[in-house]
Amino acid sequence: MFKGSYVALVTPFKGGAFDEAAYRAFVEWHIEQGTDGLVPCGTTGESPTLSHEEHKRVVEVCIETAAGRVPVIAGAGSNSTAEAVDLTRHAKAAGADAALVVTPYYNKPSQEGMYQHYKAINDGCDLPIIIYNIPGRCIVDMTVETMARLAKLPNIVGVKDATKDLARPMNTRLAIGPEFCQLSGEDGTVLPFLAGGGHGCISVTANVAPALCARMHRAWRDGDMAEAATLNDRLMPLHMALFCESSPSPIKYAVSLLGKCDDEVRLPLIGISESSKQLVQSAMRSVGVLN
């Protein structure tokens, strides 16, 4: 079972290329800070603008650097089923603990189409698969009924839920059972998500506040609801500021303020405005992650 604070890692760039040295140092820092698990090549890692070669190298570097100290859930999604199978097979060969596979974007498959997409990936590679359901980016929303069908397949083990529907984790737990791993994809709703049956979060905010995010999840698991609520309240302004513009531009800027990488993003993303920079800086200071 994957649980706790997983970070949706940014992908550092320098001069347009993958900054491998910065990435290795960033992964090491996260492990030192207590992050429970790593997620390379998700949306926050700018997977849409990574070449397949770059995507695979980022996954390899993350797994090599983690060296088994924490789990790695490798992004492996595509709106092409064949590409998703290939990326999942690569994740398996590289040593990932699971693959994060987003619902197919742009081509708007039906519920049956989504079922067949994930079934083909399940059948094509023996690696645990986390469904990434994010209707705001992909348009399609996988229903609980479709997810329950998929959960009967041996490799479909959980979901990253970015629907913002706080009834969803409860309905999913009732339909599938408590053993089905539910990870929030929304930092701002993580505490009620956990209360509804969730097991953790794949977090954007953890890129810059890894220790605080990990402490909040640890407090929840330990039954210290007061501490979890206090930390959640403390983090909330940062959660909001990091989505002041299209993600991951704000979080890339925030990470750069910590000196962990440049704030370079790839087109069609651009750097955030000066007013947004001030908002991000203010939120980071209020939380205590920037002096």
Neighbours of 211 (CB within 10 A): 15
For the question of residue 160 being annotated catalytic, the response is yes
What's the CA angle centered on 43, arms 163 and 182, to 5 degrees? 40
Question: What is residue 16's DSSP assignment?
Answer: T
Question: Do you find a cis peptide bond into 268, omega within 30 degrees of 0?
Answer: yes
3, 56, 92, 160: the catalytic one is 160
Q: CA 226, CA 249: separation in Å to the nearest integer? A: 33
| Total residues found in the chain within this entry | 291
CA distances from 24 to 19, 58, 98 (A): 9, 10, 20
Burial class (CB in 10 A: 0-12, 13-18, 19+), 147: buried
For the question of residue 277 being annotated catalytic, the response is no
23, 118, 132, 253: the catalytic one is 132
Residues with catalytic annotation? 132, 160
